[in-house]
Amino acid sequence: MHRYAQKLHQLIRSLLLLSLITATGAQAAEKIDLIIDTDPGADDVVALLFALASPEELNIRALTTVAGNVRLDKTSRNARLAREWAGREEVPVYAGAARPMMRTPIYAENIHGKEGLSGVTVHEPKAGLAEGNAVNYLIDTLKAAKPHSITIAMLGPQTNLALALIQEPGIVQGIKEVVIMGGAHFNGGNITPVAEFNLFADPQAAEVVLKSGVKLTYLPLDVTHKILTSESRLKQIAALNNNASKLVGDILNEYVKGDMEHYGMTGGPVHDATVIAYLLKPELFSGRAVNVVVDSREGPTFGQTIVDWYDGLKAPKNAFWVENGDAQGFFDLLTQRLARLK
């Protein structure tokens, strides 16, 4: 009887250990189902290469493009270029909104160059756009998705998602989280004294997304202006000596000049790439849940994000606002992922 009890005890322990190993393996293998909405843009292309080099963690369903840093035809071409450079032509690219919901279109060619990609030569990619419109793709995909299963990374103006939400409010059921590069609070703006470009380019769209009730995380200028290039960080990327590292180095060496000169900083930010780092390694970042409001009224505060950091209004907290990040940890992670590409 004693021997039987011992064997039973050993069997139970073995089964418990097996179930623990299986559960741990399943958890480790769980990927983020991701749609990247983007307006490439120099930092967008760095972000796209970063994401496309991380297939173990990110199941990228599609790239959706929007007018922003440059016109839609150029952002769509640049997204396809990033896909080609990463060797990930199987990821579809859908073109979306060619203009903001209400305001006059505005572009950032003075920062990103006329083609939207400073520092490198652009060409027409071999693979074309997917058939259909980005807004319809978002509606169809989110309607069909399992509840709260798809994450959306928003690297530009939020026009595509806002239009989808207006047409089909029920698509919120498919959204797990929306992670946005945009906004500014402590830092001040980069297009006006108070507004960050992505919000300034379409504040009405940002309002729609804020009011939708989806889980929101913002990576604003407050954090991106703390994660800066340096000579040593650019050298560690260059040391990879592959095509991806050369592309990123050439893009960043040209792109960061404007911010370094304008702000008197020792390095430049890689704004949109912080969204990808947050998805891959959120422990690099810190912030707090806050109430955020976007100002869409004409005037000097147009496009401003009003952030109740100290909870003075006691208003419902509708976003997680990232305020700090590990700069060296970010560049180490970016370098590790670029090493996977050719």
- Same-domain pairing of 1 and 149: no
Q: What is the pLDDT of residue 3?
A: 53
Cα separation, 205 vs 208, whole angstroms? 5
Residue 5 scores a pLDDT above 70: no
Domain range for 133: 33-338
Residue 7 scores a pLDDT above 60: no
Mean pLDDT calculated for residue range 160-184: 98
Cα R_g (the chain), whole angstroms: 21
The least confident of 10-14, 64-68, 87-91, 220-224 is: 10-14
- Same-domain pairing of 50 and 194: yes
Tell which wins on pLDDT, 79 or 8. 79
Of these residues, 112, 185, 225, 271, which one is catalytic? 271
- Same-domain pairing of 223 and 152: yes
- Same-domain pairing of 143 and 252: yes
In angstroms, what CA-CA distances link 23 with 29, 56, 58, 149, 299?
10, 17, 20, 19, 54
Residue 64 scores a pLDDT above 50: yes
Backbone angles phi, psi at 152, to 5 degrees: -115, 120
Backbone angles phi, psi at 129, to 5 degrees: -80, 155
Residue 16 scores a pLDDT above 70: no
Tell which wins on pLDDT, 7 or 56. 56
Q: What is the pLDDT of residue 160?
A: 98
Q: How confident is the model at residue 13 (pLDDT cuts 50, 70, 90)?
A: low
- Same-domain pairing of 265 and 130: yes
DSSP conformation class of 228 = B
**In the structure, how many helices (H) and strands (E) does the chain have?**
13, 10
Cα separation, 8 vs 2, whole angstroms? 10
Q: How confident is the model at residue 25 (pLDDT cuts 50, 70, 90)?
A: very low
Residue 26 scores a pLDDT above 60: no
CATH code of residue 254:
3.90.245.10
Write down the pTM of the prediction: 0.91
Q: How confident is the model at residue 30 (pLDDT cuts 50, 70, 90)?
A: confident
Sheet-wide strand order for 216-219 = 93-95, 58-65, 32-38, 150-154, 175-181, 216-219, 319-325, 285-290
User: Per residue in 82-106, pLDDT tens?
Assistant: 999 999 999 999 999 999 999 999 9
- Same-domain pairing of 123 and 22: no
Residue 113 scores a pLDDT above 70: yes
Is 123 marked active-site?
Answer: no
> Is residue 226 within 8 Å of 324, Cβ to Cβ?
yes
User: Per residue in 131-166, pLDDT tens?
Assistant: 999 999 999 999 999 999 999 999 999 999 999 999
- Whole-number average pLDDT of the chain: 93
Q: What percent of the chain has pLDDT over 90?
A: 89
- Same-domain pairing of 15 and 97: no
- Same-domain pairing of 228 and 310: yes
Candidates 206, 183, 180, 205; CA nearest to 194 is: 183
* Overall domain count for the chain: 2
Mean pLDDT calculated for residue range 163-189: 98
Residue 44 scores a pLDDT above 70: yes
- Same-domain pairing of 50 and 83: yes
- Same-domain pairing of 12 and 80: no
- Amino acid (1-letter code) at residue 283: E
- Same-domain pairing of 115 and 7: no
**Which residues lie below 8 Å from residue 108, measured CB to CB, with a gap of 6+?**
41, 68, 69, 70, 191, 197
Q: What percent of the chain has pLDDT over 70?
A: 92
- Same-domain pairing of 312 and 173: yes
